[in-house]
Structure 1
Amino acid sequence: MSAVPWIADLLEQTNRELAGTDARVYRRMAEHLQRSNSALQDLQDPHPEGTTQAPIALLGKGSFLKQSVASLKRLCKEHGIKGYSKLQKVALAKVLERHGVTPPPPPLESFTKKELIALVRQLLGER
């Protein structure tokens, strides 16, 4: 008979610990979501505090030749250009230029670690 209250106490203690753990997890998730939302809003703001350029402008002037063939074909599709499916990179670039498409900035994968760190510092307003 003495084992029954002990099991009930153990179950109650376990439930309290789980509830506390869940609350901590939910608080951390809420904080993470708030930080993520704030970061997204900062990216959408064309002129975050301390900078005079849009964050995307920090990546530099775009070049079609720094893009992948897949991204060039996607640009052709987005701009309603026909007959691009069998073209190679240089030909795709020429077609896009002819249609007045602005080249996107270089992909992040093309930057070195040092360049990425400099971009983040510039974005945050550090020198």
Structure 2
Amino acid sequence: MSTGPSIADLLEQTNRDLAGTDARVYRRVGAHLQRTGTALQSLQDPEAAGAQPRNALLGKGSFLKQSVASLKRLCRDHGIKGYSKLQKASLAKVLEHHGVTPPPPPLESFTKKELVALVKQLLGEG
């Protein structure tokens, strides 16, 4: 009469299989965390990661190329008071006075030719 593996042998083999599976999962999770950390670092400091800053591609910022709504949002974000009734030129002066850096021009303000040039630059063709 042939007896199969004992319960202890089956449990031991199951535990080995689980440990091997866990080790593979942990290695994959570790590799994923490493890639995520690198990606986050490049977003926070693009120059250190060797990438060109996204805003640099769009050119020098200008308050006058922004909408009034975005200028008011900048005032609100920087804690500037008394801006709600100001017009674009006055909003730009207030932001400059408070040392706010102008954001790059919005993509909507670029011509088709300029957008194609930006895409080529991103792809390394230009």
Q: Which range, TM-score by smaller chain?
A: 0.5 to 0.7
Tell me which residue corresponds to 2:77: 78
Q: In structure 1, what is the Cα distance between the partners aligned to 2:56 and 2:74?
A: 19
| 1:76-124 Cα deviation digits (max 9, x unpaired) | 0000000000000000000000000000000000000110010011011
Aligned: 1:112 with 2:111: yes
Give the Cα–Cα distance (whole angstroms) in 1 for the partners of residues 51 and 91 of structure 2.
33
**Aligned partners of 1:69 and 1:89 also within 8 Å:** yes
Describe the superposition over 1:15-44 as per-residue Cα deviations: whole angstroms up to 9, x where unpaired: xxxxxxxxxxxxxxxxxxxxxxxxxx5983
Secondary structure of 1:101's counterpart equals: coil
- Please list every run of 5 or more consecutive structure 2 residues that lacks an aligned counterpart in the other structure: 1-38
**Corresponding residue of 2:46:** 46
CA shift, 1:53, in A, is: 2.5
TM-score (structure 2 length as normaliser): 0.62
1:47, distance to aligned residue in structure 2 (A): 4.6
Higher relative contact order (CA 8 A, sep 6+): 1
Q: Which structure is larger by alpha-carbon Rg, 1 or 2?
A: 2
Q: Number of residues paired by the alignment?
A: 87
Gaps of 5+ in 1: 1-40
* Amino acid of the structure 1 residue aligned with 2:63: F
Ranges of 4+ aligned residues in structure 1 off by more than 3 Å: none
Which residue does the alignment assign to 1:21? none
- Which of 84-93 and 53-62 deviates more? 53-62
Which residue of structure 1 aligns with residue 65 of structure 2? 66
Root-mean-square deviation over aligned CA pairs:
2.4
Aligned partners of 1:66 and 1:106 also within 8 Å? yes
